Amino acid sequence: MRLVLLGPPGAGKGTQAQWLKERYGIPQLSTGDMLRAAVAAGTEIGRQAKAVMERGELVSDEIMIGVIAERLRSPDCARGFVLDGFPRTVAQAEALERLLAERGEKLDAVIELAVDTEALVERIAGRFACAKCGAGYHDRFKRPAVEGVCDVCGGTEFVRRKDDNAEAVRTRLQAYAAQTAPLLPFYRQRGLLRTVDGMAPIAEVTAAIRRALEDIAG
């Protein structure tokens, strides 16, 4: 299964990707996570991306396409993947199409998580993640089952993202509207777009995605 999750920051892409990777046994390719790892490791790409990410702007297509091209070559992507945060521009979508075509592959579906912009600020403000395994949580909508303990790995340290502040969020929402939203008609034209209601509770969004994918599998 080759999937793309599409939606603005805070729509729930990472949350739903976590379920999809288990359901289909495919890796989650989160370009945001990859970039944050590069920043933490102090690589050349990390150095170039750091300030751009902190402002909430998009990292260049050239860098992002390079990162994804390399990641797609790993053997664990042979049976599919769920892309979370890529593509974010039409140029990235075209590059992805080319990269897959070179291997005789194509996407199975692009799932749009449709959300109201007003809800995103609250989602992003309450977001935190396990420092050890990266599992995502929310102050109101997704607390760990045992307070202070990660459901997935038992870790007890949690982190908040530096770019989850009001100003960077505003920039990220603008970047989404200007540069990423054009991907909706791009994928609709190709018959790949499946839109689900991202405002529903997490489990209901998951169920809607499952139904959409069962439709495709036939």
Which of the residues are catalytic? Answer: 13, 88, 127, 161, 172
The reply on whether position 158 binds ligand ADP by CB under 6 A is no
**One of 39, 59, 82, 213 touching ligand ADP (CB under 6 A):** 59
Q: Which of these, 183, 167, 185, lies nearest to 89 by C-alpha position?
A: 183
Nearer to Zn ion, 120 or 130 (CB): 130
Span 110-129, contacts to ligand ADP by CB under 6 A: 123, 126-127
Binding residues for ligand ADP, rule CB under 6 A, total 35
Strand partners, 158: 130
* Structure-token pair, residue 100: 């897959």
Residue 85 dihedral angles phi and psi, to the nearest 5°: 105, 0
The reply on whether position 21 binds ligand ADP by CB under 6 A is no
Span 30-49, contacts to ligand ADP by CB under 6 A: 31-32, 35
CA distance 162 to 49: 13
Minimum CB separation of residue 128 from Zn ion in Å reads 11
- The arrangement of strands across the sheet holding 158-159 comes to 136-138, 127-130, 158-159
Site string for Zn ion, 104-143 (x = CB under 5 A): --------------------------x-xx-x--------
- In this structure, how many other beta carbons lie within 10 angstroms of the beta carbon of residue 189? 9
CA distance 15 to 22: 12
Out of ligand ADP, Zn ion, none, which partner does residue 31 contact, by CB within 5 to 8 A per kind?
ligand ADP
* Structure-token pair, residue 206: 């998951």
Out of ligand ADP, Zn ion, none, which partner does residue 13 contact, by CB within 5 to 8 A per kind?
ligand ADP
* Structure-token pair, residue 111: 């799932």
Strand partners, 27: none
The CA-based angle 71-19-54, given to 5 degrees, is 55
Q: Give me the residues that bind Zn ion (CB under 5 A), please.
A: 130, 132-133, 135, 150, 152-153, 155
Q: Give me the residues that bind ligand ADP (CB under 6 A), please.
A: 7, 9-15, 31-32, 35, 52-53, 56-59, 64, 85-86, 88, 92, 123, 126-127, 136-138, 141-142, 163, 172, 201-202, 205
